């Protein structure tokens, strides 16, 4: 997959070093993935939540962090929409961000 705004992840883990390992691992895996439907994500990420608008919420590092992405399955593009703590996630609208 082509990850757009990977800079957002790098900036976040630079400010929050504890998030680096989990986010970096997710990034490598996502860039090597070929997701064409949500079921393929569910096979690997059992705790992922699927929202309207092809949004997926990933729990990172035991749910300490949340990552919200929008996926265009037909073009193989993943857009980073939000990365932050679980508490910060609770203050956003994940379906519209």
- The domain made up of 2-89 has a fold known as YaeB-like fold (3.30.2310)
pLDDT confidence of 94, banded at 50, 70, 90?
confident
C-alpha distance from residue 21 to each of 9, 11, 27, 51 (Å): 11, 13, 10, 25
Question: ∠ at Cα 91 (70, 18), nearest 5°?
Answer: 75
Rounded to a whole number of angstroms, the distance between the first and last alpha carbons of the chain is 21
37-90: pLDDT as tens digits? 999 999 999 999 999 999 999 999 988 999 999 999 999 999 999 999 989 998
Measuring CA to CA, which residue among 29, 41, 28 is closest to residue 70? Answer: 41
User: With 90 as the cut, is the pLDDT of residue 95 above it?
Assistant: no
State the pLDDT at residue 51.
96
């Amino acid at each position: 997959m082509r990850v757009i705004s990977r800079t957002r992840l790098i900036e976040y883990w630079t400010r929050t070093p504890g998030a680096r390992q989990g986010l970096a691992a997710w990034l490598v895996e996502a860039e090597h993935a070929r997701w064409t439907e949500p079921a393929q994500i569910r096979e690997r990420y059992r705790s992922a939540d699927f929202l309207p608008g092809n949004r997926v919420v990933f729990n990172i590092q035991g749910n300490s962090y949340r990552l919200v992405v929008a996926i265009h399955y037909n073009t193989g593009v993943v857009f980073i929409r939000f990365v932050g703590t679980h508490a910060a996630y609770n203050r956003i609208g994940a379906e519209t961000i």
